[in-house]
């Protein structure tokens, strides 16, 4: 009798163990069908609070709720089998105290089945990262440009491009690394700084506008597929799906109006008696 073992989903310790090894590949995912397409090719999928902007047309990620994150986290888990799934904790759901963060993280992990959470912030969040890690919650950190702080930052712009701000971001990364983050996203910071952080911290770094020296890279799926009209400098469009979708819809509309769709092959004949 043959014994068939199910494929094991990657875990936070698997990602942490990749420090200095083969580059870690990641993309965002918000839907079951895109998760199914992405799953064979990536090491982890991030259910990012960017879904507020990508899916719901919000100006920022600030209005995103825990319920929104859980709903899309469940969808991504259903659509995937191999990659680690990480879910963002949205603004206002964790900053109040380590206890608040644990309550939110526990709910997200229980209700989605995901393997880790991500939160934004450096030194100010180190106590929370340690509190969560000590209680069995795998935490991915996020420093540099932190979109949830847009009302404080004023705009989405690259950071750490001068000596003073670079020193602060380096301290942020060191703080959450020492607190127990299993990996750290470095967003929109100067390339030399991202390289330095990668060399100095123990957890693997995941760049998004960082450096090719980072231990891995992540992009928003819709950005790299060409579905977004405006994208940051750090995005490379690996396809132009947006225009193709527009062309397909235009062709469909034209055939419906011309009554050439549906054709005989798309409709059902009555059963013969």
SS3 sequence of 66-103: HHHHHHHHHHHHHHCCCCEEEEECCCCCCCCCHHHHHH
Do the beta carbons of residue 29 and residue 76 sit within 8 Å? yes
Range of the domain at 21: 12-258
Contact 84, 115 (CB under 8 A): yes
Residue 113 lies in a domain: yes
The binding site comprises 49-50, 88, 118, 120
Is residue 204 one of the residues assigned to a domain? yes
Residue 188 dihedral angles phi and psi, to the nearest 5° = 50, 55
Residue 5 placed within a domain: no
The reply to whether 129 falls in a domain is yes
Task: Report phi then psi at 248, rounded to 5.
Answer: -65, -45
Asked whether residue 229 is domain-assigned, the answer is: yes
CATH number at residue 233: 3.20.20.60
Write out the binding residues for 3-methyl-2-oxobutanoate. Answer: 49-50, 88, 118
Closest CA to 17 of 43, 49, 56: 43
Helices 98-112 and 126-134: crossing angle, nearest 10°? 50
User: How many structural domains is the chain composed of?
Assistant: 1
Q: Report the catalytic residues.
A: 187
Cis omega (within 30 of 0) for bond into 262: yes
Q: Which residues participate in the annotated binding site for Mg(2+)?
A: 49, 88, 120
Domain-embedded: residue 3: no
Is the residue at 4 inside a domain?
A: no
- The tens-digit pLDDT sequence of the chain (273 residues) is 444 445 799 999 999 999 999 999 999 999 999 999 999 999 999 999 999 999 999 999 999 999 999 999 999 999 999 999 999 999 999 999 999 999 999 999 999 999 999 999 999 999 999 999 999 999 999 999 988 877 777 666 788 889 999 999 999 999 999 999 999 999 999 999 999 999 999 999 999 999 999 999 999 999 999 998 888 899 999 999 999 999 999 999 999 999 999 999 999 999 887
Cα separation values, 200 from 19, 105, 168, 176, 194, Å: 11, 28, 14, 13, 10
């Amino acid at each position: 009798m043959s014994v068939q073992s199910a494929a094991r989903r990657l875990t936070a310790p698997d990602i942490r163990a990749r420090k200095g090894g083969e580059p870690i590949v990641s993309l965002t995912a918000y839907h079951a069908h895109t998760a199914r397409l992405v799953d064979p090719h990536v090491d982890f999928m991030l259910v990012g609070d960017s879904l507020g902007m990508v899916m719901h047309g919000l100006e920022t990620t600030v209005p995103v709720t825990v319920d929104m994150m859980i709903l899309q986290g469940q969808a991504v888990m259903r659509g995937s089998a191999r990659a680690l799934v990480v879910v963002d904790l949205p603004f206002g759901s964790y900053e109040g105290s380590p206890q608040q963060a644990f309550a939110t993280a526990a709910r997200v992990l229980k209700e989605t089945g995901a393997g880790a959470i991500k939160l934004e912030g450096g030194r100010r969040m180190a106590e929370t990262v340690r509190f969560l890690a000590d209680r069995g919650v795998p935490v991915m950190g996020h420093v540099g440009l932190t979109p949830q702080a847009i009302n404080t930052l004023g705009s989405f712009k690259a950071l750490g491009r001068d000596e003073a701000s670079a020193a602060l971001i380096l301290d942020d990364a060191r703080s959450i690394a020492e607190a127990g983050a299993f990996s750290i996203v470095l967003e929109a910071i100067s390339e030399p700084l991202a390289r330095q952080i990668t060399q100095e911290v123990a957890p693997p770094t995941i760049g998004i506008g960082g450096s090719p020296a980072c231990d891995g890279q992540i992009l928003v799926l819709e950005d790299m597929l060409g579905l977004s009209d405006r994208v940051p400098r750090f995005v490379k469009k690996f396809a132009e799906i947006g225009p193709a979708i527009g062309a397909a819809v235009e062709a469909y509309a034209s055939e419906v109006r011309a009554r050439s769709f549906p054709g005989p092959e798309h409709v059902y004949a009555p059963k013969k008696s």
